[in-house]
C-alpha cells in the first residue's frame, strides 16, 4: 500500500523551532513535498540541543525529516521575490510560517498574485504578541499543578508547540479540502496561547475554576478524579498503575488477592470503592495496601500478573534505556525505521504515527543547508 495521501501537495515552510516544523513534518510523512526556506547559513534552530557527538542538531534533524531545503537572503528583496515566485507559480501551493516579518511573503501580498493560495500562520498570542511554549505554559495554570513541590514546574514536553503544530496541519488540510471544492484560498491562523487555553477549557479545568470553589493542588503521579499512582516492586522497579473503571478495579483485586482486605476496609470504615470518584476520594486507603503488594512482589511477577489480568500499567523507562544497544527496543516497533542522517549517523527514527491502509512512509534524512537550491530555485 502507498501511504502518500498528500502526493502532489507542495508546502513552502518558513519557520523555526517546534510547531511549524512539526506541521511540515506531519504533511511530509503523508507524502507532501515540503520545502523548508532558511536564511543563508541555516536557521537558528539548526544548532538546538540535543546534539550528536559531531555537533549536528538531532532536534532539527528529527523535525525536518524528508523535507527539501533552500537557503536565501531573506533580507534581500530580490531573494524574497524568488521565494514568492516559488509560492505563486505552478501548482497550487500552501505556505506554513511562524513569522509575519516580511509583508511581501504574507497572505495579502501573495494572495493578490495567487487567489487560491492557502497561507497558514502561527502566532504567539492572538493579539499578535510574542510567546513561546514555555511562556505560554506559565500563563495556563498547568505548571502550578505539575510535580510535587511548592514551585511551578514547566513540563519538559513542549505540549502546546506539539498541539499547535497539529492544529496547523488540521487547519491547513481543511482549507485544502475547501480549495478542492471551490478553488478558493484561505488564510489560517493559530495562536499558541489559544491552543493552550482552549485545551484547558476543553478538559474542564477552566470551567471548574469558574463554577466551583474547589482549588486544584499538586498531586504528583496521582490522577485527578480517578485512581492512578506509581509503585516500586520488590526488586526496585517503578511502575505506573491506572484503574479507570469498576472492571479495572475488580481485575486489580483478583490480580493482587486483596479483595477480602478491601471488603473489610469498606465495612469497617463505612466507605465504598465502587465508583471512580470513590476510589479517588479514598486513594489514601487504597495506595498503602497496593504499595505493600508491590513491595513484596518481584517485577517479573508483577508484569506477568498485571498483563494476564489486562490491567493498565507500565514500567518507567529512560531515554537511555530506549536507545540502548543501538535502539534495540525501538527497532522492534513498526513505528520506527532506519535513517542515516548526515552529520549524525544511522539510527532508528519515527515514521508517521498515522497508518494509511496499514502502511507508512519510511523516514528520510533531514536536508542540509541549501541542499535543494539548484533543484528548487534553479541555482
Given a contact cutoff of 8 angstroms between Cβ atoms, the answer to whether 192 and 122 are in contact is: yes
d(CA 116, CA 71): 26
Q: Which DSSP state fits 106?
A: S
Pairing label, strands 118-123, 186-191: parallel
**128 contact partners, CB below 8 Å, separation of at least 6:** none
Residue 104: active-site member: no
Give the three-state DSSP class for 328.
helix
**93 contact partners, CB below 8 Å, separation of at least 6:** 10, 11, 12, 86, 87, 114, 117, 118
Q: How far, in whole angstroms, is CA 84 from its chain's centroid?
A: 30
d(CA 370, CA 139): 38
Cα-Cα-Cα-Cα dihedral sign, residues 107, 86, 169, 348? negative
Which entry of 85, 161, 229, 260 is annotated as an active-site residue?
A: 161
- Given 3-state DSSP classes, what are the helix, strand and coil percentages for the chain, each rounded to the nearest 5? 45, 15, 40
d(CA 267, CA 366): 62
Helix-then-strand count for the chain, H and E:
15, 11
**Left if phi > 0, otherwise alpha if psi is -120 to 50, otherwise beta: which for 228?**
beta
Q: Which residues participate in catalysis according to the annotation?
A: 161
Amino acid at each position: 500500500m502507498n501511504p502518500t495521501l498528500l502526493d502532489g501537495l507542495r508546502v513552502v515552510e518558513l519557520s523555526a523551532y517546534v510547531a511549524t516544523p512539526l506541521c511540515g513534518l506531519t504533511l511530509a510523512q503523508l507524502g507532501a513535498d515540503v520545502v523548508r526556506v532558511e536564511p543563508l547559513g541555516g536557521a537558528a534552530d539548526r544548532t538546538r540541543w540535543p546534539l550528536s557527538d559531531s555537533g549536528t542538531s538531532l532536534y532539527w534533524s528529527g523535525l525536518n525529516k524528508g523535507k527539501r531545503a533552500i537557503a536565501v537572503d531573506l533580507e534581500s528583496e530580490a531573494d524574497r521575490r524568488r521565494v514568492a515566485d516559488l509560492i505563486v507559480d505552478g501548482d497550487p501551493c500552501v505556505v506554513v510560517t511562524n513569522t509575519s516579518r516580511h509583508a511581501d511573503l504574507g497572505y495579502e501580498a501573495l494572495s493578490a498574485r495567487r487567489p487560491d493560495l492557502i497561507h497558514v500562520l502561527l502566532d504567539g498570542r492572538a493579539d499578535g504578541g510574542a510567546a513561546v511554549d514555555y511562556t505560554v505554559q506559565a500563563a495556563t495554570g498547568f505548571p502550578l499543578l505539575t510535580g510535587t513541590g511548592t514551585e511551578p514546574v514547566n513540563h519538559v514536553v513542549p505540549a502546546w508547540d506539539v498541539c499547535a503544530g497539529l492544529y496547523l496541519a488540521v487547519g491547513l488540510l481543511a482549507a485544502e479540502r475547501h480549495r478542492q471544492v471551490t478553488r478558493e484560498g484561505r488564510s489560517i491562523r493559530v495562536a499558541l496561547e489559544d491552543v493552550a487555553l482552549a485545551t484547558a477549557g476543553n478538559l474542564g479545568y477552566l470551567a471548574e475554576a469558574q463554577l466551583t470553589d474547589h482549588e486544584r493542588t499538586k498531586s504528583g503521579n496521582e490522577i485527578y478524579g480517578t485512581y492512578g499512582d506509581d509503585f516500586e516492586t520488590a526488586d526496585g522497579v517503578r511502575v505506573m498503575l491506572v484503574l479507570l473503571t469498576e472492571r479495572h478495579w475488580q481485575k486489580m483485586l483478583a490480580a493482587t488477592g486483596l479483595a477480602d482486605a478491601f471488603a473489610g476496609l469498606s465495612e469497617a470504615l463505612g466507605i465504598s470503592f465502587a465508583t471512580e470518584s470513590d476510589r479517588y476520594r479514598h486513594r489514601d486507603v487504597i495506595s498503602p495496601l497496593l504499595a505493600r503488594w508491590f513491595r513484596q512482589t518481584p517485577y517479573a511477577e508483577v508484569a506477568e500478573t498485571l498483563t494476564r489480568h489486562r490491567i493498565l500499567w507500565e514500567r518507567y523507562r529512560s531515554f537511555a534505556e530506549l536507545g540502548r544497544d543501538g535502539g534495540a527496543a525501538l527497532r522492534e516497533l513498526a513505528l520506527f525505521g532506519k535513517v542515516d542522517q548526515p552529520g549524525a549517523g544511522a539510527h532508528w527514527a519515527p515514521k508517521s504515527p498515522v497508518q494509511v491502509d496499514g502502511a507508512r512512509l519510511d523516514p528520510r534524512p533531514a536536508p542540509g543547508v541549501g541542499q535543494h537550491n539548484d533543484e528548487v530555485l534553479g541555482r
